[in-house]
Chain A
């Protein structure tokens, strides 16, 4: 059995648990424009789910709701036993800081901070002292093979290097769920695949759930399950992509 297959088997076992994250009849509108029209879905622990759809279909809005960044107009979002859609912004911020990791396409690294400081930042925000936070950050940079960039600032890095630093930052708090919105959208194919392969490897090793928003079928192929959004509604659910690349 390959490492990837072994990891997949572990992941399948995790998926059999009760839903870790769920959305029930979620409706979101931007002004008069509906973005989500009653979406219901659930995600198991350790599962990697790709949310795909055309531009403007509502996939990013769904991710924002699941991550507690956006509160739905109607419906509820649960994380375990907590109804996070009913919680205050401060409580949801704390949840994201402690339990979630987030990855975006643009602007997520603080340009003035070095790579190691960027990765250590979530730990510092959680009250960890500078030295242990830096040590943990260096370990994560090392796991991504970019320890030599520890003192570099984001403007001095390539897009792929910057995105790997961002993945390290998302993982440094050992989150339960990682939310990634088009994480490779600004990268070339090779750099994008390298980043995704590393993201999938480390999240499978840690048993982390991943919600991956993408319009790219090659990116979606890394997931255990694909959820397609069309015009704000769940259109279909495809499981077990046959051409899934090995990580």
Chain B
């Protein structure tokens, strides 16, 4: 009998899909996330494929070629919360999977074999999802291809920076179903998503020691505080001073280069916020822990100190959504002043952007739900012991709510402030009004920012409360009969 150096592909596959209901749920949600990501990327590819002779469409955003870049960026940005969602899904049923991986190790699998098994599971689920997403795109393109006869106004370029609206009557499409992304793009997306998912799952296991006795997660105890602060200050400060620097040094020659620099600064700001989330969580915990009388707050604040990355990981997608949302609100405020108020084009465009933003926040909230539920399940033994000792479930529920929301409130406010400052810094705090031509200050959209921040926090609180449904099951006394 000859032995191969590692498990064969079929064995890996069989071991990867062996599991219980939590494992099946993880695979299902991962596949759904991958399907949605594939759909978003293929939709972006379809928009890129729209040529001058295609359409017209019922949405001005699709008719106006100058806006296609924005649509593509929005669809790609939508993949960020999806990516976070898939990443969070990989933690569903983690304790059961950890036990299974430990059992594989006990049976003779090497640590590399165990990592391969985990990566195969994620990659397989993502492959199923990306095939499903491609199928949905291709079938949707056929099923939704229902042009209707209508008259739409299409902007035609007369000369540089001058466009005129031209009414066109004929078949009008709601979506770009008359074009198709090139086959190699479709194939690349379908192949790239499972590979990326597999690689991400290997990266996620880099701090994990897979031993026959169990799975040990190594977490750095102290989150970095200086680097995120530098990134955030550099990003937000750079954006705040953007226009002033450009004007002072006469750098407004290349609009594309300036846009790229502004985007880079925004990314720096976002990275600072995300990395700093853990430091902020630990800081809040350290501030509260020695002072509070309330047992729920005591446990929550100690948890924020001991596992600051759990809180920051959960809020990644939420913070990105708030940051981009604040930018969008600022841009809207600016455009309302410099464009014709009777022209519905920009209002329609911003409504579409708002819808994408709402979808991104919903996805971010879904990621948070997964994190909160996983946090409850992971600590089921401690929670069961506390419940058995007479701790009211209300106290345990408040603990979970507090540890999720406390770090999120200041970081959400920071994200909204950074987004707002970025827009004012780049587009200016004063503009020439469309109607009078006079220079007027751009008002800060306080109401919209409050709705964005407050709404996001409210959705987050509601979603975390949903995770408490797992609490009763997780405080079952049977949890105390076995070692974790």
Seen from chain A, the residues whose Cβ lies within 8 Å of a Cβ on chain B are: 60, 64, 67, 69-70, 90, 93-98, 100-102, 104-114, 117, 121-122, 124-125, 129-130, 153, 170, 181, 186
Contacts and interface: CB of A to CB of B under 8 A. Distances in A.
Nearest to B392: A93
A125 B389 CA distance: 11
B381 interface: yes
Given A113-B299, A130-B293, A186-B483, A93 B391 contact: yes
B11 interface: no
29 contacts: A60-B481, A69-B477, A93-B387, A93-B390, A93-B391, A97-B389, A97-B390, A98-B390, A104-B388, A104-B480, A106-B381, A107-B381, A107-B484, A108-B389, A108-B480, A110-B302, A111-B306, A112-B299, A112-B302, A113-B298, A113-B302, A121-B295, A121-B386, A122-B390, A124-B294, A129-B293, A153-B306, A181-B480, A186-B483
Contacts of B386: 110, 121
Interface string B206-248: 0000000000000000000000000000000000000000000
Interface residues of B, number: 31
B481 A108 contact: no
B295 A125 contact: yes
Most-contacted residue by chain B among A117, A122, A124 (CB, 10 A):
A124
B413 interface: no
A140 to B, nearest CB: 15
A53 to B, nearest CB: 15
A90 B382 CA distance: 19
Contacts, number: 89
Nearest to A97: B390
B298 A117 contact: yes
Contacts of A90: 392
A111 B378 CA distance: 12
Given A100-B390, A107-B384, A125-B395, A112 B484 contact: no
Interface string B19-54: 000000000000000000000000000000000000
A100 B481 CA distance: 20
Contacts of B392: 90, 93, 125
B482 to A, nearest CB: 7
A96 to B, nearest CB: 3
B61 interface: no
Given A69-B477, A97-B391, A117-B298, A108 B305 contact: no
Contact of A107 (B291, B292, B295, B382): B382
B96 interface: no
Nearest to B295: A124
A170 B382 CA distance: 15
Interface of B: 291-295, 298-299, 302-303, 305-307, 381-382, 384-392, 395, 477, 479-484
Nearest to A96: B390
A230 to B, nearest CB: 19
B390 A125 contact: yes
Given A104-B480, A106-B483, 12 more contacts: A93-B387, A93-B391, A96-B388, A102-B388, A102-B389, A110-B382, A112-B303, A113-B298, A113-B299, A113-B302, A121-B295, A122-B389
Contact of A130 (B292, B306, B387, B484): B292
Contacts of A70: 477
A110 B299 contact: yes
A98 B392 CA distance: 12
Contacts of B481: 60
Nearest to B482: A106
Nearest to A92: B390
Contact of A112 (B305, B390, B480): B305
B390 A106 contact: no
A104 B483 CA distance: 11
Nearest to A61: B477
A124 B306 contact: no
Contacts of A100: 390
Contact of B477 (A64, A98, A111, A153): A64
A28 B299 CA distance: 34
B407 to A, nearest CB: 15
Contacts of A153: 306
Contact of A104 (B298, B302, B385): B385
Nearest to B387: A93
Contacts of B391: 93, 97, 121, 125
Most-contacted residue by chain B among A109, A111, A170 (CB, 10 A):
A111
B477 A94 contact: no
A106 B480 contact: yes
B298 A124 contact: yes
B111 to A, nearest CB: 23
Nearest to B478: A30
Contacts of B302: 110, 112-114, 117
Most-contacted residue by chain A among B298, B384, B479 (CB, 10 A):
B298
A111 to B, nearest CB: 7
Contacts of A125: 295, 390-392, 395
A113 B386 CA distance: 13
Nearest to B302: A112
A125 B387 CA distance: 12
Contacts of B483: 106, 186
B390 A95 contact: yes
Most-contacted residue by chain A among B295, B306, B391, B395 (CB, 10 A):
B295
Nearest to A90: B392
Nearest to B483: A106
A181 B477 CA distance: 12
Nearest to A113: B302
Contacts of B482: 106
A13 B34 CA distance: 71
A64 B384 CA distance: 13
A70 B382 CA distance: 18
A105 B480 contact: yes
B293 A124 contact: yes
A163 to B, nearest CB: 13
Contacts of A186: 483
Contact of B480 (A107, A110, A113): A107
Nearest to B303: A112
A94 B477 CA distance: 17
A5 to B, nearest CB: 33
A20 B382 CA distance: 29
A230 B399 CA distance: 41
B395 to A, nearest CB: 7
A58 to B, nearest CB: 13
Most-contacted residue by chain B among A64, A109, A125 (CB, 10 A):
A125
Nearest to A133: B293
Contacts of B395: 125
